[in-house]
Amino acid sequence: MRNKYRIAILLFMHICVFWSCKKDTPKISKKVNVLFTTTGLGDLSFSDNLYKGILKARNDFDFEVEYAFPANLQEASTTLKNWIDHLSSKDELIILLGHEYRLSIDSLQGNFNNKKILLIDAKANDFPNLFSIEFSFYGAAFLAGIAAKQITLNDTAGIIAGMPLPPIETGIAGFSDGYLHANGKHTDVQYIGNDFSAFQDIDKAAALAGIMFKKTNLIFGMASNANQGIFDVLRRTDYGYALGVDQDQSWVCPDKIMGSVVKQIDIVASNYVRSFVNGDFHSGYQMAGLESNYMGFLINTFFAEKLQTIMQKNFDDALMAEKKYLEKKKKR
Amino acid sequence: MRRIVEIVIIFVCLGFWTCRRDDDQKDPAFGKVYKIAIILPLSGSDKSAWTNVTDWVTKNIEDAGYVANGKIQLVWFDLNKNDVVEIAKIICKDTTICAAVGPYSSSESFKIAPLFIEAQKPLILPTSTSADISAAFSGKKYIWRLPESDISQCQALLVIAKNKGAKKVALITGDDPYGLTFYNWFGFQATEMDLEVTAVEKYDQSVEQPDMYMDKILAGNPDMIIAVARSLNQAVAMVKYWRNRNSDAKILFSDGAYIQGFIDELGDLAEGIEGTAFTSNPATGFNIAYKEKYNTNPTLGMSQLYDAILLLAYSLELSGGKSGLALATGLMELSDGEQSPTFWDKDGIKRALERLRSGQRPKILGASGPLKFAAGCYTDNINSTYLQWQVYKRQFLNLNYYRSDATGRISNLAAAWQSYSNKTQSFENIIQNNLPARHELWAMIVATSQGWSNYRHQADALRIYHLLKSQGIDDQHIIFCMADDIANNSRNPNKNIIVDAITSENLYHDFTLDYKIQDISNQDLMNILSGNSSSRLQQVIRSDENDNILVYMIGHGESNGMVVQSNTKQYLVPSQLKNTLSEMYTNKKYRQILICIEACYSGIFQDSEGVPSSLIITAANRFESSKTVVYDPEVEVWLSDQFTNEWLKLMLRNKNISFSEMYLNLCKSVYGSHVCIYNASNYGSVYENSIEEFLIP
């Protein structure tokens, strides 16, 4: 009886030991590395949205995060190489934000050292463990064009864009087509510059807006942070209206910005991190348009009454127009 | 069998113990406890706001593992319930507390900083922005603050003004500690930015209204008015008066107006008004993360509170858990880190601690921004961020951010209070005087102020006096005038002692005082200088055309002249000095005369230019204050003024230095004001003449 008692104690102790040691047994943990644009956090745009997406995902899942805020592309390249080369027992995802990182990824020729890569806002060559996502502005901008027609006085709408880039040109096409679809007559396009600095050139945007507001009372700003220049003119002159881009910019001028064409990068990031943590990460490419819910036209609540019904009525038209546009572009 | 079972049990227990030991190493509860005092207003609604942050940072540090084989424990002291000095005394005595964070206001911080320096305990100030703190405690190792002083905010305001196309600027501010920082730095910074200052007005905002001062400001037709209000009422009154005058001048407010009440009170009158406010650097993501976590925006000082605790955790890791000098040294090492930066969240802290343990010294990115302090003297973080706001449709819009890390302004190496002049004078059209050989040397030394708080003026006057005496000038040739109310002042703990700012020696000995400032007038001073003696003014300068005269005056200055604190407040004005000099020149009362003036706005004596063979050197230009230096916490006064202190150091090193060289040296060593030389073209060669001719008889 005594021996049985001892054996019982022994079994109990074994269970304790097993439990105690098991608790420390490392499981394969997940790590997400995030390489921001060279603008970094505080841009009130892509980077901030990506950060919000990571924070949201982190509320739901347990994973480690490392952020990098490169000062320039060279530093970004070094950081990326270090992350790729680093030997790790963890399952790692590297998120790169921005068109400028496409070449860095392509140059690796798929040698990702078992790391998974998510490239946001650019299309990369196909490789295993790499997913890239681009955004089509067309459909959302098409809706913005329809919204613009509701306010313009002389059948002309203005567009101030950062620099000539494929996504920007897609947005311009969508806006112009939407405006014409709603019986507008003419869109006037002005570029701020020819390089990426144009997206930060608030003064130039303001100067262009000052001239453009003499021809039209509405400007669609496709210049990211430089849109602040357009909004500054709006506030000062007490004349005209505008549409924003990338994120909800209506707070800057709540009674004059009708809405914004938004890229929901926070949702993209949150969804793909969730897939990664759940082991569902897959390779591939997506062109995300209006249908994906990652792009949309966000109506400023101040204009909701005026625009809500019109937007709903035209949503399918915008979807269709975007589909046609993308197919046509693909054939080219 | 029994034996075997027992052996197995022993092995199993050993195995169990082995596994537990690993846990012990990870669980800081088994290690040391490092106590950090938090001194903040903690009652009522204040508490939850602060504890959100402290809970967050301590949890993140705990999740990151451990700090110097121990854990951080916060000890709370409520400023709403206890006196700050009493709290400080308790903390300083308690050997289990290694450092403190707080208090909230600059005046509270100023009061307790000396106690922490003496106790050798780091005190990190999360919200104090007064310029005096850095000037008094910089380099003392134990006082650190996360926001820069309002000197940086003043600069941000001027940067915005300039960006908006302003060429002429004016300042209206209060005479309280908050307003004085702007008052003291506005002119200097405007000069550095090539902005013309049209007026600087300060007034007692606790009792006066801005109307009269706003009139003076508007009379100068500035493009931009920088408005500094200590209260909502003052900000509202400023706007109302400015709106009523329909001026073309724009107005830009400091953070005193960045409160909802400003919009609520003014309604439509507030529309379009812009200003600045101190904030955390948006590039850290703290505001986003805070809002995500607590569903509300963080308020002033929260990211700085987070960083204060974070810095102490890292520093404890570096010091191996030691307090005192080791902990302060840890803070300095952190500030000097140059390797790739860390991040402030849980994972970032974990990696930072690992890197610090492995000997790396990364740059520390805190929740408020990069945690980099002024090289060498530390104390002030040199990366502050200010947002530019505008009232639009009855709400504050954040238009832009200005960072003090070289993207917005100034140097990225030093704190704003250490800004030296980049604008120097050039001396052209110099005449060559055919002067006779010098015979005698005369001097007039005057401290024009009274009272304990002006200790430095009499101390500096005594220093000049002793310097001249040491060079061999006798009392017959020195007219010395001061209030003489310091050495035996009731507030002086060391009776009959006035301390030299550099040597700490007693200056109050072996001097002959000719006049007490209380007994003479501004005109008396001019009579003494020009040799007009009377029964009341028996000691005067009895010079002739072969003699040199050195005049040194120190005291307070205002925009209309130098204050002579006689029995009534009088002003020595530039025209008075010029008339006296002209009369002296006509009457052949000097060969050459050098007039040195240490006072705020002393540059107004530029208007005394024009008299041959006279040279006027001032501590500041006509729009700026001169600055104090060397704070003595024991007697709670400043011991010297910046220009005089540097001038004396220079003369002790090299008496044979030319005026032009002396000027350039002073420009490099006097911060916060522009040393000026006037009338050089009428004086003679400032390249050849040296100060020696006014020091050695």
Q: Looking at residue B566, what is its pLDDT?
A: 87
Instruction: Kindly determine whether residue A228 and residue B2, on different chains, have CB atoms separated by under 8 Å.
Output: no
List all residues 6 or more positions away from B657 whose beta carbon is below 8 Å from its beta carbon. Answer: B650, B651, B665, B690, B691
Q: Between chains, do A251 and B397 touch, taking CB under 8 Å as contact?
A: yes
Contact assignment for B19 to A235 by CB distance below 8 Å: no
In this predicted model, what pLDDT tens digit does every residue of B416-442 receive, in sequence order?
555 667 778 888 767 777 888 999 999
Cα dihedral sign, B212-B217-B218-B219: positive
Using a CB-CB distance cutoff of 8 angstroms, which residues of chain B are in contact with residue A65?
345, 347
If phi > 0 it is left, if psi is from -120 to 50 it is alpha, else beta; for residue B571 that is beta
- Least-confidence region, from B41-50, B207-216, B517-526, B595-604: B41-50
Give the C-alpha separation, B152 to B147, whole Å. Answer: 9
Q: What is the mean pLDDT of residues B480-496?
A: 96
Mean predicted confidence (pLDDT) in B306-312: 97
Torsion angle, alpha carbons of B169, B172, B178, B183, to 10: 60
Cβ pairs bridging A and B (under 8 Å): 81
Q: Which residue has the higher pLDDT, A73 or B574?
A: B574
The overall average pLDDT reported for chain B is 90
Q: pLDDT higher for B506 or A6?
A: B506
Q: pLDDT of A230-276, one tens digit each?
A: 998 998 877 799 999 988 888 888 889 999 999 999 999 999 999 99
Q: Which residue of A has its CA nearest to B291?
A: A52
pLDDT score at B28: 47
pLDDT at B10: 56
Residues B147 and B175 sit within 8 Å (Cβ to Cβ): no
Omega cis (within 30) before B612: no
CB contact (8 A) between residue B347 and residue A3: no
**Tokens 């463990």, located at residue:** A129
Is it the case that residue B21 has pLDDT exceeding 50? no
Residue B469: predicted pLDDT = 97
Contact residues, chain A, for B343 at CB < 8 Å: 66-67
Query: Quick one: pLDDT at residue A28?
Result: 66
pLDDT of residue B435: 86
Enclosing H/E stretch for A325: helix A304-331
Residue B552 is predicted with a pLDDT of: 98
| Mean local confidence (pLDDT), B297-325 | 94
CA dist., res. B589 & res. B582, Å (int): 10
Q: Which amino acid is at B452?
A: W
- Cβ-Cβ contacts under 8 Å, A252 against chain B: 397
Of the candidates B5, B392, B401, the beta carbon closest to that of A6 is on B5
Q: How confident is the model at residue B16 (pLDDT cuts 50, 70, 90)?
A: very low
Instruction: Please state, in angstroms and rounded to a whole number, the distance separating the CA atoms of residues B419 and A76.
Output: 34
The interface predicted TM-score (ipTM) is 0.84
What confidence score (pLDDT) does residue B418 get?
59
CA distances to A20, A104, A225, B370, B620 from B22, rounded to whole Å, are 10, 42, 51, 35, 65
What pLDDT is attached to residue A5?
Answer: 65
What's residue A251's pLDDT?
A: 84
Q: pLDDT band at residue B57, thresholds of 50, 70 and 90?
A: very high
DSSP sequence for A201-257? -HHHHHHHHHHHTTT-SEEEEESGGGHHHHHHHHHHHT--EEEEEES--GGGSTTTE
Q: Is the dihedral of CA B680, B684, B690, B691 positive or negative?
A: negative
From chain B, which residues contact A within 8 Å (Cβ)?
1-2, 5-6, 8-9, 12-13, 15-16, 19-20, 22-23, 272, 281-285, 288-289, 292, 341, 343, 345, 347-348, 351, 390, 392-393, 395, 397, 399-401
User: A24 and B19 in contact by Cβ < 8 A?
Assistant: yes
Cβ–Cβ under 8 Å, residues B454 and B417: no
pLDDT in tens, A44-92: 778 899 999 999 999 888 899 999 999 888 999 999 999 999 988 889 9
Which residues does residue B70 pair with via DSSP β-bridges, in sequence order? B32, B67
pLDDT for the residue numbered A15: 57
Cβ contact, residue pair B393, A255, below 8 Å: yes
pLDDT digits (tens, 9 = 90+) for A103-141: 889 889 999 999 999 999 999 999 999 999 999 999 999
Whether residue B291 is predicted with pLDDT greater than 50 in this model: the reply is yes
- DSSP annotation string for B298-316: --TTHHHHHHHHHHHHHHH
* Beta partners for residue A295, in sequence order: A263
Give the pLDDT confidence score for residue B410 in this predicted structure.
32
Which residue type sits at A47? S
Q: Do B16 and A228 touch (CB under 8 A)?
A: no
Please check the confidence at residue B278 and state whether its pLDDT lies above 90: no
Chain A nearest C-alpha distance from B296 (Å): 14
Across the interface, whether the CB atoms of B347 and A252 are under 8 A apart is answered no
At B653, which helix (H) or strand (E)? helix B642-653
Residue A158 has pLDDT above 90, yes or no: yes
Q: What is the pLDDT of residues B153-175, one digit of tens each?
A: 998 899 899 888 999 999 999 99
Using the beta-carbon criterion (under 8 Å), do A235 and B272 form an inter-chain contact? Answer: yes
Interface of A with B (CB under 8 A): 3, 6-7, 9-10, 13-14, 16-17, 20-21, 24, 40-42, 44, 48, 51-52, 55-56, 59, 64-67, 69, 228, 232, 235, 251-255
Q: Looking at residues B353-364, what average pLDDT do you find?
A: 95
Taking residues B16-36, what's their average pLDDT? 57
Q: B594 or B230: whose pLDDT is higher?
A: B594
Query: Given pLDDT bands bounded at 50, 70 and 90, which one contains residue B280?
Result: confident
B23, B283, B289 member nearest A42 (Cβ): B283
> Do B406 and B159 contact (CB within 8 A), yes or no?
no
Which residue among B285, B292, B392 places its CB closest to the CB of A253? B392
pTM of the model: 0.81
Q: In this model, does residue B261 exceed pLDDT 60?
A: yes
pLDDT at residue B461 above 70? yes
Q: Which of B635, B638, B606, B603 lies closest to B619 in space, CA to CA?
A: B603
In this prediction, residues B272-278 reach a mean pLDDT of 92
Structure confidence at residue B135 as a pLDDT band (50, 70, 90): confident
How many residues does this entry show for chain A?
332
* Mean pLDDT score, B466-484: 97
Identity of the residue in A16, A253, A255 whose CB atom sits nearest the CB atom of B16: A16
Closest residue in B to A79 (Cα) is B340
Which positions in chain B touch A52 (Cβ < 8 Å)?
288, 292
What is residue B17's predicted lDDT score, i.e. its pLDDT?
46
Chain B residues closer than 8 Å to A55 by CB = 288-289, 292
What is the C-alpha separation between B431 and B426, in angstroms, rounded? 14
Over the stretch A1-29, which tens digit does the pLDDT of each residue have? 556 666 666 566 555 555 554 444 445 69
The answer to which of B7-21, B234-248, B409-423, B472-486 has the lowest mean pLDDT is B7-21
Q: Which residues of A touch B19 (CB under 8 A)?
A: 17, 20-21, 24
Residue B604 to residue B572: CA distance in whole angstroms: 11
Across-strand partners of B36? B74, B99
pLDDT at B24: 39
What average pLDDT does this structure show over B448-474?
Answer: 97
pLDDT tens string B369-417: 999 998 878 888 888 888 889 998 888 888 888 876 544 433 333 555 5
Question: Which residues are paired to B628 by β-bridges?
Answer: B641
